[in-house]
Structure 1
Amino acid sequence: MTLKITIPGKQSGSTFSQLRLFLCFLMYCWVLADPACGYFLKNCTIRGNLSDTSNMKVLCYNRNLEVIPIAIPRKVSNLDLAMNNISKIEKLDFKGLSNLKILNMSRNQISQVDDGALGHLEALQELGLAHNRLTTLSDHLFQGLANLSLLHLDNNLIATISSSSFQLLSSLKTVNLTKNNLYNMKEVQPIVQLPHLHELYIGSNRFTSFQSQEISNTSIELRLLDLSRNPLGIFRITADVLPYLEVLDIAYCGQLGHMEWDVLDRSFLRNVNRLNLSGIEMSFERMGMVLQTVNSSLVHLRLHDLVNSSRLKIKALTDIACRIPTLSVLRLEYNNIGNLSEEFLQSCKHLTEVDISDTGLTQLSDFSFRSIEQLSALKLGHNRLSFVPKATKNLPTLKILDLSFNIINKLGCSDFSNLTELTQLIIFHNQIPNLLGCVFQDLKELRILKMGSNKILTLNDAFMNALHKLEALNLAGNKLSSIRKGEFKSLTSLKTLLLFDNQIASMEDGAFEGLVNLTELKLGSNKITQIGIRNTVLMGLPLLKSLDISCNYITYVNDDKLNPPPFSHLTSLENLRIFSQRHKGLSHLPINFLEGLKSLLSFQAGSLNIKELYPDTFIYTPRLWFLDISKNEFTALTPKLFHPIPRLNSLYLTKARIQSLDFLIGANLSRVTLLQVSKNDITVVNETVLRSLPALTYLDMQDNAFTCGCSDAWFVQWIESDNQTQVVGAGEFTCNYPADLKDTKLLDVELQFCIVRLGLYYYISTTCLVLLTLIASFAYHFLKWQVIYGYYLFLAFLYDTKQRNKHTPHGCQYDAFISYNAHDEPWVLRELLPELEGEQGWKLCLHHRDFQPGKPIIDNIMDGIYGSRKTICVISRRYLESEWCSREIQVASFRLFDEQKDVLILVFLEEIPTHQLSPYHRMRKLVKRRTYLSWPRAGVHTGVFWQQLRLALETKDGSSEENPILSGVQAL
């Protein structure tokens, strides 16, 4: 049989190459990746996360920054750097922020912007540079901002604008240059020429004239032009350059004492529908000309604060304005009108909205608005009216009436009797002490009633039989002391009821009866001590979603169950607020306080003096999403408290005297994205705690007493490298312990020696794994059989060592152990056995005859070899392919090498070329170094062979050098 050595083919070699390339690629990618791409940004707050950057905001406003922070996330879309002390924008400050769409740098000290510094912001749409110290807009200032649509440059010191500054801003729609030092209209010419510019604000500058030839020779797209608060001496339009203008603001112009109006053709301003002439320094005649210019399109006119105009001039201007057939809104705030006569608005027949707030009105003629047949909105706020003027009674079309901030001290039954179309009534901040039951009886269409900040003591059935369509009622800031049963029973459409900041101490059972559509009820800042005795106060509110009972006097002496629970009927409630001032806290939260609130999503219970919460507190609120229990005195909480609310997303525990966050471990808060535990007594943050919050994206731990040592080393590393959770204000975390580090910034403490550099170990282990894989693949590809042979040699070595430890120094049991293959057994029995045992008298060990039955084969082999002086290996091709023969020769060769005795004799039954000898049996080296005998070919005399074999058996167990016959000579 031919000896075969298997060599891997092309397919296995290809697989090996692919595997090697794949592993190398993975390792390359890992090395290139930036494992420290963190979510922490010193002195800034991030809204959003690194995995979804479409709406990411970085908020760095009001942080006393002097330079633009480095390491701003590259994918940020909104960056707010307002209210800092930044003085310069350098060329590389915004490099890489190609996704930025909104940049706000208002209210800084910026006086210099390097050319090209904004050029990296190719996606920018809104830029805020207001309230800085810019003096010049250079040629390349806005280079690269082709997508910019909104630009704020107001409140700077800009006096010069380069002719090419705005040349490339083709998408710009709104520019605000209010309150600068511009004095020549030609400075803004490059701006108004932009193809898509719609709004230009250049008020509060130094322009002394506005002349159309200074800005353009052709029509422009401008829709809004604000020239207010400029010392304009002349406004002149000689060509149709503003055909699309809709809003013109020239309020408080003419500050040099006069202003001329020169518009040659009325059609030049044919589309102006909103005009502001407030506080303008212009003669009555010129103002009349202005109004005549826009008399074909004007809809909205402001004539505020005409301080130098008498009441008669205001009346005359009003008459001119009201003759404009398109005018519908007239605002006369901040004028000194005094008493409003019947004639004042006599010509204003087409108006739908009149605003005469803050005009010093004390009384109105009963027919002041008689001529205004379509009046729908009347604003009389901030005056000195002491009662509802009769003039409002004869306005059947009125929908909005504003009487706020007057001194009205009484409402009569007929005050609103004819206002059958009224939808909004605002009597906020007056001095009304009570309500009559008939006062609102005719307001059948009223939707909104605002009566807050009065002095109402009782409601007197005012809401028992009227206002069936009312949707919002504001009674906050009054002096109500109680709510009687059925007080609001006629308000079946009411959705919002505001009763906060009163003096309500009691509410009768059924107090809110009839409010079947109420969704929001605010009872905060009152004197309520309990929510009903029989649990019927809040009955009849099936759709209530938001309840605020904060800052009351509700208290409980222990945590015992309430019978009945206060909110058991509010099955639709989603938001409950019971915040309080510390001296008014609940002290104890009863076990079943939240029973019945199966729809509750938000629970705000701060400042209640609560020291602990019963573990089953939230078993009634399985949908809870937002929990704020800040400003209590918990010290510690239990994980079981949070088990019933697995959907919790936001948890606020500010100033709650928490000493450890270990209660979060096992709390089942896998959905929490926001955790605020600022102003507590936390010293160390455990890694296990943060790992228990896998969805956390926002962590606020400011103002805690950190112990700066190796216990916080992992936390510091996590702050700087985690790419999911933003740690707010981490740059300001300070050490409290040890004393020598007190007030030191946590991130400035050297903790590197504490940190196990897992990244390095990962790199080393990965590299070793790759190298081991490559070596194993190489060995399998080229040294497969040598490896297998080495493996079996190692097993033989183990067997040899074991046997040697048990071996005794007594004589051997056999002269020779015969190692042969079963196919060669006939030769052994017919030739070898008769000659060696029969003729020469040697005692041989043969496995078929002398192995002990039931004993493991390998043990029999070991006993046979070590129990014999010599081992004769009968070699044939079948022998080389036999596993057990391989084991036998391995054991014998190890005995040879270990004991340094010539105990191995090789007998070849057939001729096998040395290059075909399998490395699996290490035969090549044995043949070269040891004695071997060949069985003669057929027909050749065997005497010499047996003689050589007898000599080999007779030699002592010395080294081969002491036995010349065993020196590798092949028998003839």
Structure 2
Amino acid sequence: MVNLKPPIINTFHFILIFVLILGSGIQHSLQNEFISNYSNSLLSHVPRLLSPKTTVLDLSLNNITGIQIEDFKFLPKLRVLRLSHNRIQYLNISVFKFNKDLEFLDLSHNNLWNISCYLLKNLIHLDLSFNEFESLPICEEFKNLTQLDFLGLSAKRIQKSDLLPVSHLNLSNILLDLERFYGEKDKLESLPVLDTKKLQIIFPPNRALFMQLNISVNNLRSLEITNINLNNDKCSFFTDFLSKVIHNSKSLNLTLCHIEDTWKCFVEILQFLWHKPVEYLYIYNLTLVEEISYEPFTYDETLLKELKIELLTLKVYLFTQTNIYDIFSDMNIKMLTISGTRMVHMPCPSKPSPFHYLNFANNLFPDSIFPDCENLSLLQTLILQKNKLKHLSKIADMTEKMKSLKHLDLSQNSISYDEEKGNCNWPESLLVLNLSSNELTDSVFRCLPPSVTVLDLYRNKIKGIPKNISNLETLQELNIAFNFLVDLPGCSTFSSLSVLIIKHNSVSHPSAHFFNSCQNIKSLQAEDNPFLCTCELREFSKNMATLSSRVVSGWPHSYKCAFPDDYKGTLLKDFHMSPLSCNIVLLIITIVLVVLVLVIVTAFFCIYFDLPWYLRMIFQWTQTRHRARNIPLEELEKTVQFHAFISYSELDSPWVKQELLPNLKQEEIRICLHERNFVPGKSIVENIINCIEKSHKSIFVLSPNFIQSEWCHYELYFAHHKLFHECSDNLILILLEPIPQYNIPPKYHKLKALMARRTYLEWPKEKSKQALFWANIRAAFNMKLNLVEEANNIEMI
């Protein structure tokens, strides 16, 4: 069953489309319309409690078997009612008597066999087609439907009287569903002349019942006939039928759907229509049977502007193909469409052709179509979509002589381009080139017409655009979606580019240079790319945000981060990185400034809090503790009687006796002093050597007074000699007061060497530092040391 619905008049067309799109919701508002949609809701009756505000009600695609006056009584504003595709058997139009504003009523595709009439004066659209009526469901009241614009009818038989009530109405569209029409054999019913701009007639499939209709129409502009069976020599009957229908027409659009006939009959129909007032002829689903042989065709002057044939089925398997091709190639019309026919060739016209438009989509044409053709010089549009084309250079050569060609569609083929197999010579007039859904790679940019303004390379295998392309300066629109590009092409190659479609590619880190070079871009579609959200993307995202939504399609919801994982799914407009982390120069400057500030702050604190002194003292304390632990205890216990021997100048004795000795005494450190422990009768040098030999450590209190003392020099010399002789570290130098190097006499070269290595402890004047000073002194001694007892010489401090 074929359902050919007419266009809905005025605003109802848009309202109804909106209703169908809504799905199975309940109530929706659209400007001044209140829409209740119950389509496809498994209803068996009209729902109750509908809003009185309802203006559009869709109850199609349900199981409703009957309607009553109560169903619509409380819908005074109802204007559009759709009840198609239900199971309603009987209709009393008076159920709508409370719906005075009802304008659109669709009851098609039900089981209606009878109706009772009632006048609905405002009715504009009434569809009763595809039902079970025995005769045409036309009432006397229909003659007063002065607003009626569309009328859909169905019947199993037709009588002249059936159409009389509407024959005077000036309608825009009449649909006659005669799928169940059986008529009466050998009876030709003469019907009244109708007045309509468009007539749709649907005959029963596989039966030629048009022979039983005698119908004529005034002011007919469009005729659509479905289910035409012309087997068994019925061709002349059909042409007679057409002749009567279009007798009063001056210009006509004719559509013939689902035709089954012979090639001979088909040519006869074309020849018949060639001399009729038909401007556009559309043939859909043509089946050719029996045989295909040569049929002559006369190309006289004709009003026909376009012939369109879609979907051809051949039930003839042995024939000469030129019998078909030659008729079409030499037609003297401007537009020809032959698609879905599985044709494999089309010869060049035998003489200069008036063709402006040729559409051979969805066939089997190879690259050899129109070989070396010079007779298509007026051709402006050529569509070769969905064929078997493979070589771009051959196609270019084929079109080179089409001097007026502006639009070429080569989409959905298997086209590729190999630079080694030839150059591309295109016509200079070509403006629009569609190469979408092919096998093209980057090399295609070396085989493009210089004059092209619109280029479609959708869904190919392009990974990049060569930088040295210089012949596409006129290109204004480029569609390169669904390829493998990793960056946006700059406009240095396409100086006139205003529309760029590059969505669904592999663009991860687009260059911000794109916006600098493409100042003329008015439309950019770059959504659904795997953007890598790093510093490089910040400038691109910023530029995108500054453009209006009219320029950038899908912004911001279709522009998301794909990498790294931390930002995956984040909208580009919400992606932010600090300027510091993205600017290397700024980052280096910042680091240098921070380090410089730290150095200055550290230097300040070092100076202010004397930090170097603390560090040096802690280092010396650590070294001293380490050395004290490394000397075997049993070695020391053999000869050592004192923990330390103190050497100092008599001028420094107040500090020694008031500061040094009291602190050492607290730690039970045994000290050897010259005034107390020197043995009478021995020389001073011998006593000095003896005291140093019997002491674990030697403490020297250094000051300007120290270097003036001769005996202090001897004591230092012998202690330093013991240091190197025994490989021990027994010297503790205390710098009581600073001693400038230039004040130290040359004979104190050992003291200079020791002080140069800074192996001394400085006596701090500040009380806060003195605790660390005494800790360093204590760390130098091994308190577990068992000293040798000599009663004559030993005395605890």
TM-score, normalization: structure 2?
0.57
2:632 aligns with none
Once residues 243 and 536 of structure 2 are traced to their aligned partners in structure 1, the CA distance between those partners, rounded to angstroms, is 82
Find the partner of 2:384 among 396, 403, 411.
403
1:4 aligns with none
Once residues 443 and 126 of structure 1 are traced to their aligned partners in structure 2, the CA distance between those partners, rounded to angstroms, is 53
1:502 aligns with 483
Please list, as runs of the form range in 1=range in 2, the aligned pairs for 1:101-116 lying within 5 A after superposition. 101-116=79-94
Instruction: Report the residue type matching 2:369 in the other structure.
Output: P
Structure 1 residues 581 and 612: CA distance shift in structure 2, 3 A = closer
SS of match in other structure, 1:151: strand
Once residues 492 and 133 of structure 2 are traced to their aligned partners in structure 1, the CA distance between those partners, rounded to angstroms, is 61
Find the partner of 2:147 among 166, 171, 178.
171
Find the partner of 1:378 among 321, 338, 358.
358
Find the partner of 2:539 among 558, 564, 575.
564
Q: CA deviation at 1:221?
A: 0.9
Please list, as runs of the form range in 1=range in 2, the aligned pairs for 1:740-819 lying within 5 A after superposition. none
Q: Deviations over 1:178-230 (max 9, x none)?
A: xx66333558525752512232222451335699984644x331333333443
Q: Deviations over 1:257-302 (max 9, x none)?
A: 5643446987835536333455545675698379547724122234
Q: CA deviation at 1:148?
A: 2.5
Structure 1 residues 582 and 461: CA distance shift in structure 2, 3 A = closer
Once residues 119 and 388 of structure 1 are traced to their aligned partners in structure 2, the CA distance between those partners, rounded to angstroms, is 67
2:196 aligns with 222
State whether structure 2 residue 121 is matched by structure 1 residue 146: yes
Structure 1 residues 464 and 431: CA distance shift in structure 2, 3 A = closer
Once residues 474 and 438 of structure 2 are traced to their aligned partners in structure 1, the CA distance between those partners, rounded to angstroms, is 24
1:351 aligns with 333
State whether structure 2 residue 335 is matched by structure 1 residue 364: no
Find the partner of 1:455 among 430, 439, 442.
439
Once residues 57 and 492 of structure 2 are traced to their aligned partners in structure 1, the CA distance between those partners, rounded to angstroms, is 47
Please list, as runs of the form range in 1=range in 2, the aligned pairs for 1:622-661 lying within 5 A after superposition. none
Instruction: Report the residue type matching 1:246 in the other structure.
Output: R
Structure 1 residues 287 and 451: CA distance shift in structure 2, 3 A = closer
Q: Which structure carries more helix by proportion? A: 2
Once residues 582 and 62 of structure 1 are traced to their aligned partners in structure 2, the CA distance between those partners, rounded to angstroms, is 38
Q: CA deviation at 1:543?
A: 4.5
Find the partner of 2:254 among 264, 269, 275.
275
Is the CA contact 2:541–2:572 (under 8 Å) kept in the aligned structure 1?
Answer: no
State whether structure 2 residue 300 is matched by structure 1 residue 300: no
Once residues 24 and 242 of structure 2 are traced to their aligned partners in structure 1, the CA distance between those partners, rounded to angstroms, is 60
Q: CA deviation at 1:371?
A: 3.5
Higher relative contact order structure (alpha carbons within 8 Å, sequence separation ≥ 6): 1
Once residues 272 and 309 of structure 1 are traced to their aligned partners in structure 2, the CA distance between those partners, rounded to angstroms, is 31
State whether structure 2 residue 513 is matched by structure 1 residue 536: yes
> How large is the Cα RMSD of the aligned pairs?
4.3
State whether structure 2 residue 479 is matched by structure 1 residue 479: no
2:599 aligns with none
Q: Deviations over 1:526-583 (max 9, x none)?
A: 2222212xx11344333545433333322337xx795533452763534334767999
SS of match in other structure, 2:96: coil
Structure 1 residues 338 and 78: CA distance shift in structure 2, 3 A = farther
Q: CA deviation at 1:395?
A: 0.8
Please list, as runs of the form range in 1=range in 2, the aligned pairs for 1:546-557 lying within 5 A after superposition. 546-556=523-533
The alignment covers a number of residue pairs equal to 534
SS of match in other structure, 1:122: coil
2:503 aligns with 524
State whether structure 2 residue 248 is matched by structure 1 residue 288: no
Q: Which has the larger radius of gyration?
A: 2
SS of match in other structure, 1:138: strand
Please list, as runs of the form range in 1=range in 2, the aligned pairs for 1:78-93 lying within 5 A after superposition. 78-93=56-71
Structure 1 residues 331 and 614: CA distance shift in structure 2, 3 A = closer
Structure 1 residues 78 and 166: CA distance shift in structure 2, 3 A = same
Once residues 129 and 63 of structure 1 are traced to their aligned partners in structure 2, the CA distance between those partners, rounded to angstroms, is 17
State whether structure 2 residue 310 is matched by structure 1 residue 328: no
Once residues 433 and 395 of structure 1 are traced to their aligned partners in structure 2, the CA distance between those partners, rounded to angstroms, is 25
Once residues 290 and 542 of structure 2 are traced to their aligned partners in structure 1, the CA distance between those partners, rounded to angstroms, is 62
Once residues 392 and 543 of structure 2 are traced to their aligned partners in structure 1, the CA distance between those partners, rounded to angstroms, is 39
Q: Deviations over 1:583-617 (max 9, x none)?
A: 9577666xxxxxxxxxxxxxxxxxx6349985999
Find the partner of 2:397 among 410, 414, 435.
414
SS of match in other structure, 1:345: helix
Instruction: Report the residue type matching 1:409 in the other structure.
Output: K
Once residues 330 and 410 of structure 1 are traced to their aligned partners in structure 2, the CA distance between those partners, rounded to angstroms, is 29
Instruction: Report the residue type matching 1:116 in the other structure.
Output: S
Which runs of 5 or more residues in structure 1 are unaligned?
1-40, 590-607, 618-972
Structure 1 residues 264 and 370: CA distance shift in structure 2, 3 A = closer
Once residues 250 and 204 of structure 1 are traced to their aligned partners in structure 2, the CA distance between those partners, rounded to angstroms, is 11
Is the CA contact 2:367–2:388 (under 8 Å) kept in the aligned structure 1?
Answer: yes
Is the CA contact 2:530–2:560 (under 8 Å) kept in the aligned structure 1?
Answer: no
Identity of aligned residues (%): 18
Instruction: Report the residue type matching 1:530 in the other structure.
Output: H
Instruction: Report the residue type matching 2:509 in the other structure.
Output: Q
Is the CA contact 2:379–2:402 (under 8 Å) kept in the aligned structure 1?
Answer: yes
SS of match in other structure, 1:483: coil
SS of match in other structure, 2:196: coil
State whether structure 2 residue 230 is matched by structure 1 residue 247: no
Instruction: Report the residue type matching 2:524 in the other structure.
Output: L
Instruction: Report the residue type matching 1:502 in the other structure.
Output: N
Q: CA deviation at 1:145?
A: 2.9
Q: Deviations over 1:674-708 (max 9, x none)?
A: xxxxxxxxxxxxxxxxxxxxxxxxxxxxxxxxxxx
Once residues 76 and 326 of structure 1 are traced to their aligned partners in structure 2, the CA distance between those partners, rounded to angstroms, is 49
Once residues 485 and 578 of structure 1 are traced to their aligned partners in structure 2, the CA distance between those partners, rounded to angstroms, is 30
State whether structure 2 residue 494 is matched by structure 1 residue 514: yes
Q: CA deviation at 1:46?
A: 1.1
Instruction: Report the residue type matching 2:484 in the other structure.
Output: Q
Instruction: Report the residue type matching 2:122 in the other structure.
Output: N
Q: CA deviation at 1:382?
A: 1.2
SS of match in other structure, 2:399: coil
